[in-house]
Homo-oligomer: A and B are copies of this chain.
Amino acid sequence: DRCGFGEVIYGEGKSTDLMIRIVEAQLDAGQTCLITRIDPTSAAQLRRHFPHTHHNPSARTLRIAQDTELLATPVLDENVAHVAVVTAGSTDASVAEEAVETLTWMGIAHLRVEDIGVAGPQRLLAAVPSLRKAAAIVVIAGMEGALPPTVAGHVGVPVFAVPTSTGYGANFGGLTPLMGMLTACAPNVAVVNIDAGFKGAYLGGLVAAQLITNDNGKHLNEQPANEYEGV
């Protein structure tokens, strides 16, 4: 049976053959697979090999399952624990896509809120009521280190901030939003690696998953983690 989440496969630098071998082992173990940072050519090759796949070229992800239903995006129900994925501007979209794919792979529903940079405060204020329904929020921004604490000031759940490297000027490969996000006063903001949409979503997904599991009387955190690392 499925316990915790399988090990995500980091596609960069891996041969197609190696990825196929890992995927087969994970499928055999009853897990759904997520490959990140996969290039289009490799993705196409894996799609020819496995019947049930979902490729998101913008996210650079490939999901693979035993059958197609397992690849569907969970339906958002505001009474069930879910995660909001927020971006500051259009240059942050591909990192957000990676976050969304990760949540879907975890079986967690998401709310997507786009392009609410702090320079235009009206749009952020409009989104607050729906943001307050989420169990955790992933905020993705490259030019707007200010966005995560600003969002966090309106909610009472963990905010996972993802700095992106796509800003211009003194972005310094994402170092500047990273530092701004770390030092902001809001007490409910934690930060993950630059461009790490996967990590922000994984953490948000763990928060939601515990809530869902909890309702069913099972503790997710007693499950073994990272099972298939060694394939």
Q: A194 → chain B, closest Cβ, in Å?
A: 4
Is A203 a contact of B190 with CB atoms below 8 Å? Answer: yes
- Chain B residues with CB under 8 Å of A146's CB are 118, 145-147, 149-150, 180, 184
Contacts of A112 in B (CB 8 A): none
**A185: contacting residue among B119, B176, B189, CB under 8 A:** B119
Q: A13-B90, A221-B157 are in contact. Are A179 and B182 (CB under 8 A)?
A: no
Docked complex Cα distance between A196 and B152 (Å): 17
The A interface is mostly helix, strand or loop, or mixed, namely loop
Q: Which of B158, B187, B195 contacts A207 (CB 8 A)?
A: B158
Task: Select A145's contact among B145, B171, B194, B229, beta carbons within 8 Å.
Answer: B145
Tell me, yes or no, whether A30 is within 8 Å of chain B by CB: no
Instruction: Give which listed residue, B186, B207, B223, contacts A119 with CB less than 8 A.
Output: B186
A173 partner residues in chain B, CB cutoff 8 A? 170, 172
Bound complex: CA A207 to CA B146 (Å) = 23
Give which listed residue, B187, B206, B230, contacts A157 with CB less than 8 A: B206
Q: How far is the CA of A90 from the CA of B37 in the complex (A)?
A: 13
**Residue positions of A touching B, CB distance < 8 A:** 4-5, 7-8, 10, 12-14, 18, 37, 81, 88-91, 93, 115, 117-123, 132-135, 143-147, 149-150, 152-158, 160, 165-180, 182-196, 198-200, 202-203, 206-207, 210-211, 214-215, 219-226, 229-230
The 8 closest A-B pairs by CB, nearest first: A120-B229, A180-B180, A146-B146, A190-B190, A169-B193, A156-B225, A169-B194, A13-B91
